[in-house]
Amino acid sequence: MVVAVLLGAAVAWAARLGTSRATVTAALRATLQLGVVSLLIGGIVGSFALSALFVAVMVVVAARTAGRRMTGSASGWWAALPIAVTPLPVVGALVLAGVVPPNGISVIPTAGILIGGTMTATALAGKRALDELEARRGEVEAALSLGFVARDAAIEIARPSAASALVPVTDQTRTVGLVTLPGAFVGMLLGGASPVEAGAVQLLVLVLLLAVETVAVALAVELVCRGRIHRDTEPAAIRTERAHPRVLQRSGRNSSSKTSGADAGLTGGSTM
């Protein structure tokens, strides 16, 4: 394991990818976090309340991670909405339907898989949407000058690039069994389940991931285009207009009407 981490960091350094430090840091964090969870998980899964609290911690950490990936501002906490709004109801529905037993040892892994998927999808979609809006800022401003609502001007530019965040989960679902044998399938086989049972569970996981990540991407794009998730480098006027389009439109109409009135007065005065 140490050799693999060092090899990855060395290749990243040699190729000047700028990720060698992140590779080592991620491996160290994973080691520490898995060690702590391994020590605590036995006591947590025995209590449904503690299991629910652990899932809440998952959401908070995932939101912080996705938010920092998208933007360094406090608006990154809006990532908690797409990360939590779909996985938690889905897990609740699975428990109520009897598909997932109402105990920590079943709820925590299921929630972790779905929250992890939405975290990645939200971070990718939000980052790509913000990058695209920044790179094509002139087009957004041109659309605004033509009278487009700020949200509509932004979403036409951000949506296509953000949709590419669904490529990993889509490809994983399309190639499962032919290229990859995902963790749920292998884990159930090692646990003694039949291949048919393992395949059914893995299929359910993949379909759920595809669904929750699609919802997460749609919500992330909407939050970006409405100015809820933003970067501090973005012009404040555009950000504010996306967040409060009606207010600015009214003030714009008022100022334009005042200008028209003033122009009319000047015209009348000059005619006299």
For residue 250, the model assigns a pLDDT of 41
What are the angstrom distances between the C-alpha of 111 and each of 61, 153, 184? 13, 35, 13
For residue 90, the model assigns a pLDDT of 92
Q: Above 60 in pLDDT, residue 193?
A: yes
Q: What letters, b where the CB count within 10 A reaches 16 and e where it falls short, cover 193-212?
A: eeeeebbebbeebbebbbeb
Crossing angle, helix 245-271 and helix 236-243, to 10 degrees? 110
Q: Are 76 and 83 in contact (CB under 8 A)?
A: no
pTM: 0.77
* Stretch among 60-69, 72-81, 164-173 having the lowest mean pLDDT: 72-81
CB-side exposure of 62: number of CA atoms within 13 Å?
28
* Stretch among 37-46, 116-125, 212-221, 242-251 having the lowest mean pLDDT: 242-251
What are the angstrom distances between the C-alpha of 101 and each of 82, 97, 193, 195, 211? 25, 9, 16, 21, 21
Q: pLDDT tens, 108-167?
A: 989 999 999 999 999 999 999 998 888 888 888 888 888 888 888 888 888 888 888 999
For residue 263, the model assigns a pLDDT of 45
For residue 86, the model assigns a pLDDT of 87
Q: Above 70 in pLDDT, residue 246?
A: no
254 falls in which pLDDT band (50, 70, 90)?
very low
269 falls in which pLDDT band (50, 70, 90)?
very low
Domain ranges within the chain, ordered by starting residue: 1-13+20-44, 48-254
Q: Which amino acid is at 23?
A: T
For residue 268, the model assigns a pLDDT of 45
Q: Above 60 in pLDDT, residue 252?
A: no
Q: Above 90 in pLDDT, residue 265?
A: no
Of the two residues 256 and 15, the one the predictor is more confident about is 15
Q: Above 60 in pLDDT, residue 255?
A: no
Q: Above 90 in pLDDT, residue 271?
A: no
Q: Above 90 in pLDDT, residue 219?
A: yes
